[in-house]
Amino acid sequence: MHADTVTIGDLPVRRLGFGAMRLTGSGTWGEPGDRAAAKRLLRRAVELGVNLIDTADAYGPGVSERLIAEALHPYSEDLVIATKGGRTRQGPYQWDSDCRPASLREACERSLSRLRLERIDLYQLHTVDPNVPLEESVGALADLQAEGKVRHIGVCNVTAEQLSRARSVVSIASVQNTYSLADRTWEPVVQICERDRLAFLPWMPLSRGALAGRRSRLGRIAAAHGARPGQVALAWLLQRSPVMLPIPGTSSLAHLEENLDARNLSLTEEEMESLDRHHLAGVHSLRRRLRHQVRPLAVPIVASIRSRRSRVLEER
């Protein structure tokens, strides 16, 4: 069995959390199709025992944070709100970075306003900006913490070396990188977090594609437990490390409840070892990285083509 909580700094948080990225419109852009449904989903998550909501100013942008406040404020005493700054948006599926100290300060102030908070429980550097020294970006978060606007600081999408550099500036409470049964690229970072008792928040924690097929090893184990493959993937994460804090996101009430039921699933040592050996990280990770690299380039091109086509039709 696995522990029921993980600690972020001095804050005990129940496993699992809820990732609020998918509450926005398509491409993590704009308003959701049904705002009322999005708010019902957030309230239901808390009713089911979730006490960590993870979001970012870039989700929408601003949409996810506003929905959280509208649905849950005033917040319950044990609810931990985590958000991030450092990414900028130009349109659906388009992401850039701006981790200059002044920009991070402005982003934090806006998040405080949208979330209706005086202090953010966990404020995370969303990315490492290649144009800004990491120490300057993290130093800006340290200043915000000293001013009482941030309780704990986390970093996202970092290598082991970058994590070490961040920790040389300020105490880091958490790391958020991609990690799943299918993609264990950041295993060395997980090991550091486990050694030093830092919370590790895996994003994209659910396996997809061939790994989740009925005839796969994961599918067979899921069938043996009367569970869904995604639930087994989450249970594997929870048993993989005591510092693991998955934050699966969804826009579906049924999927939310299915994900949270993974807390009750206990895998045997044999099943854990079998899943540990099942490693499709290479193919899965490559496919994901190619998709993320191509999409920001393709979306503006497609939009431009559609715009030109529309003008031609109008001229006709």
Q: Catalytic site residues?
A: 59
CA atoms within 13 A on the CB side of 131: 8
E strands in the chain: 5-8, 11-14, 18-19, 52-54, 80-85, 87-91, 94-97, 120-125, 150-156, 174-176, 199-200
Residue with tokens 């003008």: 311
Cα three-residue angle 186-137-102, rounded to 5 degrees: 145
Q: Residue 96: count other Cβ atoms within 10 Å of its Cβ.
A: 12
Q: Which of 125, 122, 18, 141 is nearest to 68 (CA)?
A: 18
Q: Which amino acid appears at position 217 of this protein? A: R
DSSP for 65-133 reads HHHHHHHHPSPPTT-EEEEEESEEEEETTEEEE---HHHHHHHHHHHHHHHT-SSEEEEEE-S--TTS-
